[in-house]
Structure 1
Amino acid sequence: MARKPGSNPRAIKNRAAKTAAAMSAPAAVAQSQSKTPPKKKTSLAQFAKEVRAEARKITWTTRKETWITSVMVAIMVTLTAIFFTVVDAGLQFGVTQILKLATAG
C-alpha cells in the first residue's frame, strides 16, 4: 500500500513548526517578518511643515451647503418625531383596547 505524499516524519515536523509559528504571538511574528528599518524621527519643524501641507488640502463646505444640510437635518428630525409619535399613539391605543377586553369593561 502506497503512503500519502507528505506523511513522512520530516514533512509532519515541518508542518507542525509552521503551524506553531502561525499560532505564536502576533507581535513576534510581525517582528520576525519585518525587514524594514525603523523610521527616522522627524524634527518639530518638519512635522509643522507636514501639518500645514495637509491642512491646505482640507476643503470646507460653503455657507449655502451648510445651510441646506442643516435644514435637511431639521426636516428629517421633525418627520422622525412625527412618525414615532403616531406609532406610539397607535401602540398605546392598541394596548388600552386589549386591557379593556381583559378587564371586561
Structure 2
Amino acid sequence: MAKAKTPGGRRPAGKQSGPAAGSTVTVDQPAVAKPRVTPAQFVGQVRAEGRKITWPSRKETWITSVMVFIMVVIAAAFFWIVDMGLGFASEFILGLGR
C-alpha cells in the first residue's frame, strides 16, 4: 500500500482537492487566430527586431573566445588524465589474472 504524501498520514476530513472539492471546472476558449502577414511585412518585422539586438563589442567577443578556449584546454586535460588513470587501473586489474 502506498504511503500518504501529507504529514500525519491522512488529509483532514474537511479539505478536499481536485474537481470533487466543490469548485467549478472551466474550459478555456480557443485562442483567436492571428492574422497572416505578407512576406514584405514579415521582412520588415524581422529587420525591426534585428535593430533591437545589442551586439557585443569586439573586446567582449575576444575575451569570451579566450575564456572558451581556456575552458576547452582545461576540460581536455582533465579527461586525458582521467582516461590515463582508468587505463592504468584496468591494465593493472587485468594483469593480476596472468
TM range (shorter): 0.5 to 0.7
Deviation at 1:46, TM superposition (A): 2.6
Equivalent positions of 1:58-97 (< 5 A) are 58-97=53-92
Deviation at 1:97, TM superposition (A): 1.3
1:48 counterpart = 2:30: no
4+ residue runs over 3 A deviation: none
What's the TM-score once normalised by structure 1's chain length?
Answer: 0.58
1:100 counterpart = 2:86: no
CA distance, structure 2, for counterparts of residue 35 and residue 99 of structure 1: 65
Larger radius of gyration: 1
After superposition, the C-alpha distances for 1:22-80 in whole angstroms (9 at most, x for unaligned) are: xxxxxxx98xx3263x3333233332322221111011111111111111111111111
Aligned length: 73
Q: Residues 59 and 100 (structure 1 numbering): CA distance in 2 closer, same or farther, change over 3 Å?
A: same
Which residue does the alignment assign to 1:39? 34
| Secondary structure at 1:34 match in 2 | coil
CA RMSD of aligned residues (A): 2.3
% identical equivalent positions: 55
CA distance, structure 1, for counterparts of residue 71 and residue 94 of structure 2: 34
Gapped regions of structure 1 (runs ≥ 5): 1-17, 19-28
Which residue does the alignment assign to 2:52? 57
CA distance, structure 2, for counterparts of residue 80 and residue 48 of structure 1: 42
Q: Residues 42 and 66 (structure 1 numbering): CA distance in 2 closer, same or farther, change over 3 Å?
A: same
- Please tell me the residue identity of whatever aligns with 1:34: P
Q: Residues 96 and 41 (structure 1 numbering): CA distance in 2 closer, same or farther, change over 3 Å?
A: closer
Gapped regions of structure 2 (runs ≥ 5): 1-24
CA distance, structure 2, for counterparts of residue 35 and residue 78 of structure 1: 50
